[in-house]
């Protein structure tokens, strides 16, 4: 007989002062042990030298747990398996010589080669591009002082505070092990069960349920280094820094329904978009910005910047843009470059150093260990995509798949038998010289990490009304897929602490008769000032630059109108695709034949940012009876797209009974009204066509 999910009453869980979880009544739980059978009393926190100190190598529980996790898949990446990548250059325009000796951050005007990989997190290599998911944003900069891997996500915070919990997080969000589904989705029991027992995840949950995890394309996402790093000057003085990649095109997201349609119509939508944009010379670019702050400033923050579940609002520490990355060349071979590239946050040049962020400390170990499993050899750095482009000299030898042929008899240092043997550099990488005695070691979370709700509340209240509604709708959808009632109720209890209105909307959407009790915060919840910079809709200026507009035409379409609209859109920076009922195109009213870029059937409205209808009246009447055409226009309307039309196109709009608004406009003259409407979504339409929680 199959076991019921709810056969065993869930335990009540409380967190101890050291981060450990204490289970109380409800079910029998065997003691957790290591693979060697050693009982584990704290599975929440790594061993550190003091509450805010570095993680210790002697933590065999952490090393065993992460090592086993790193080697679970061969050769596909355990996370970030589905990726798209491109070559490019980074050029610094503002020197940080005041803070660091790193040449990549001090030498203005030097073009540094880069290889950047974007990825989903939860799905396998064969999954789709458009699920609700965090996007990886990893940049390998081939600097003159060695490779610098800035490995982060499109979200500035993370689900967990300590690397000890990373295997648990990924095990929870991946396909459930007994049934092998769902793929590339967080809307299932194990994920939300884990999250509902981890209050520290509440801030990230708000981001994950927001529009940030439904990007329009990879060209419209931000990238974040997530952790605090250090910059070191020539005297060894340290300043903290956070790194941000800001898309030159701005931020754009899809609606949930669009993401679902794209997954079915074009599973490779993001990969195709990135590749095609570069092939067409529409090179995507990102500005590198930094937040620089001192230890004294950090001490005054109402949160701990070493906590990776926290961000530093731009209003508190403004961003300074210092350079630009431009991606201008596609990979020559997907496997050799995209699949074999090996990123590791431990790869940093002199002048940059690590902070004691406990998640970062674990990543410094985990990534290298993963490469040994995935690529099968410690010589993975010899693969062209991973090799530094500056001179390098090592004493490493042999190993599986050795491709270099080191000459000479010396493979150690120091030596005196070989004149050209490498010696320690006079100037090179140095770690910050920490002062003072470390605190007693232990599996301790600092008290400054205990506030799990304040920034979650800040993020939600920084969104505009539509964005808040999208978060509520996403939570209702995800939790509706959870079969275990207690998990749904536990999550609503957390939401009550974040925002009462949000909790009520989600509870109503889930059909809860009464609100469950609120969660009990481990620290007082603060009402932090909203951060307008965290909204997408409010801060994205209208623009047609690199937006994709469809022109639907058919037999007897007005040739002059078609050409005029096409020209006006391209002049405004848009990418234009001409759609026709037949891939062969159609004969226009002047007798010329117009080829089609794509066939209407198979080209979902979700793939476009706006639609122009250039049709004869007769063709419009026929298309109104065609389910494919009718669905295309209706969905463009439902997805809040601008719809421009000539006299014939108006016949189709009226036949479909679309309620007129500012986004439905005539293609008169140079189509200026349509161009203005097409530069953004028609957000005023959403409440009418999409009832939201």
Token pair listed for 240: 């903290």
Token pair listed for 50: 């003091």
Task: Please name which of 150, 307, 297, 153 lies closest in space to residue 221, comparing C-alpha atoms.
Answer: 153
Non-local CB neighbours of 425 within 8 Å, separated by 6+ positions: none
Whether the bond into 374 is cis, omega within 30 of 0:
no
How far is the C-alpha of 62 from the C-alpha of 463, rounded, in Å? 37
Non-local CB neighbours of 636 within 8 Å, separated by 6+ positions: 605, 608, 610, 611, 643
Catalytic annotation, pick one of 42, 80, 87, 494:
80
How far is the C-alpha of 178 from the C-alpha of 186, rounded, in Å? 16
Token pair listed for 358: 């406990």
HEC readout, 247-278: ECCCCCECCHHHHHHHHHHCCCHHHHHHHHHH
Strands 111-120 and 575-580, bridge-based pairing: unpaired
Catalytic annotation, pick one of 42, 87, 147, 153:
153
Active site residue 393: no
Whether residue 174 contacts residue 122, with contact meaning beta carbons closer than 8 Å, is answered with: yes
Token pair listed for 261: 């349609």
- Full DSSP string of 24-79: ESSS--PPPB-TTS-B-S-SS---EESTTSPBPTT-HHHHHHHHHHHTSSSSS-SS
Whether residue 67 contacts residue 369, with contact meaning beta carbons closer than 8 Å, is answered with: yes
Token pair listed for 316: 């508190």
Active site residue 657: no
Whether residue 444 contacts residue 450, with contact meaning beta carbons closer than 8 Å, is answered with: no
- Phi/psi at 679 (5° precision): -75, -5
Cite the active site residues: 80, 153
């Amino acid at each position: 007989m199959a076991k019921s999910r709810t056969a065993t009453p869930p335990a009540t869980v409380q967190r101890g002062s050291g981060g450990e979880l204490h289970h109380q009544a409800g079910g029998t739980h065997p003691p957790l042990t290591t693979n060697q059978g050693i009982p584990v009393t704290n599975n929440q926190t790594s061993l550190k030298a003091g509450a805010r100190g570095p993680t210790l190598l002697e933590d065999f529980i952490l090393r065993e747990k992460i090592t086993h996790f790193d080697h679970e898949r061969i050769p596909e990446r355990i996370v970030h398996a589905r990726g798209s990548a491109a070559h490019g250059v980074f050029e610094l325009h503002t020197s940080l010589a005041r803070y660091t000796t790193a040449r990549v951050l001090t030498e203005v005007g030097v073009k540094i080669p880069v290889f950047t990989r974007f990825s989903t997190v939860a799905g396998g290599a064969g999954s789709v591009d458009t699920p609700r998911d965090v996007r990886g944003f990893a940049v390998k900069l081939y600097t003159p002082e060695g490779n610098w891997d800035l490995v982060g996500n499109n979200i500035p915070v993370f689900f967990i505070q300590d690397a000890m919990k990373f295997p648990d997080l990924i095990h929870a969000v991946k396909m459930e092990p007994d049934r092998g589904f769902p793929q590339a989705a967080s809307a299932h029991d194990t994920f939300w069960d884990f999250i509902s027992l981890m209050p520290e995840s509440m801030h990230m949950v708000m981001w994950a349920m927001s529009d940030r995890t439904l990007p329009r394309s990879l060209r419209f996402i931000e990238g974040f280094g997530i952790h605090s790093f250090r910059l070191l000057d020539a005297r060894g003085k340290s300043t903290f820094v956070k790194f941000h990649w800001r898309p030159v095109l701005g931020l754009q997201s899809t609606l949930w329904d669009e993401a679902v349609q794209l997954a079915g119509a074009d599973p490779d939508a993001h990969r195709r978009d990135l590749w095609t944009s570069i092939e067409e010379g529409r090179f995507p670019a990102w500005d590198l910005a930094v937040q620089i702050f001192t230890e004294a400033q950090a001490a005054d923050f109402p949160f701990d910047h070493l906590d990776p579940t926290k961000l530093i609002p731009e209003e508190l520490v403004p961003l300074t843009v210092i350079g630009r990355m431009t991606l201008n060349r596609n990979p020559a071979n997907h496997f050799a470059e995209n699949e074999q590239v090996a990123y590791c946050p431990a790869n940093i040049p002199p002048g940059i150093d690590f902070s004691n962020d406990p998640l970062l400390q674990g990543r410094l170990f985990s990534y290298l260990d993963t490469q040994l499993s995935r690529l099968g050899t410690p010589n993975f750095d010899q693969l062209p995509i991973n090799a530094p482009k500056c001179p390098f000299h090592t004493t490493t030898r042999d190993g599986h798949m050795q491709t270099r042929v080191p000459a000479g008899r010396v493979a150690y240092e120091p030596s005196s038998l070989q004149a050209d043997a490498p010696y320690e550099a006079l100037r090179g990488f140095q770690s910050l010289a920490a002062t003072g005695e470390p605190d007693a070691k232990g599996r301790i979370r600092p008290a400054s990490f205990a506030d799990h709700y304040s920034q979650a509340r800040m993020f939600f209240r920084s969104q505009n009304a539509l964005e808040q509604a999208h978060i509520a709708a996403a939570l209702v959808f995800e939790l509706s897929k959870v079969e275990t009632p207690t998990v749904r109720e536990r999550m609503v209890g957390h939401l009550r602490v974040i925002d009462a209105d949000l909790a009520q909307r989600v509870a109503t959407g889930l059909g809860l008769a009464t609100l469950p009790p609120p969660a009990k915060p481990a620290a007082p919840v603060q009402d932090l000032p909203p951060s307008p910079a965290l909204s997408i809709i409010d801060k994205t200026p209208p623009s047609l630059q690199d937006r994709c507009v469809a022109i639907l035409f058919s037999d007897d379409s007005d040739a002059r109108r078609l050409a005029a609209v096409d020209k006006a859109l391209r002049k405004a920076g848009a990418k234009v695709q001409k759609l026709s009922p037949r891939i062969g195109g159609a004969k226009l009213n002047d007798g010329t034949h117009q080829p089609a870029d794509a066939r209407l059937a198979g080209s979902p409205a979700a793939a476009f940012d706006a639609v122009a209808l250039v049709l004869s009246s007769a063709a419009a009447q026929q298309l109104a009876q065609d389910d494919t055409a009718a669905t295309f226009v209706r969905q463009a309307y439902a997805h809040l797209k601008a719809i421009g039309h000539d006299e014939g196109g108006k016949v189709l709009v009226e036949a479909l009974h679309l309620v007129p608004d500012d986004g439905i406009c005539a293609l008169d003259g140079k189509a200026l009204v349509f161009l203005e409407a097409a530069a953004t979504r028609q957000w005023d339409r959403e409440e009418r066509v999409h009832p939201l929680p």
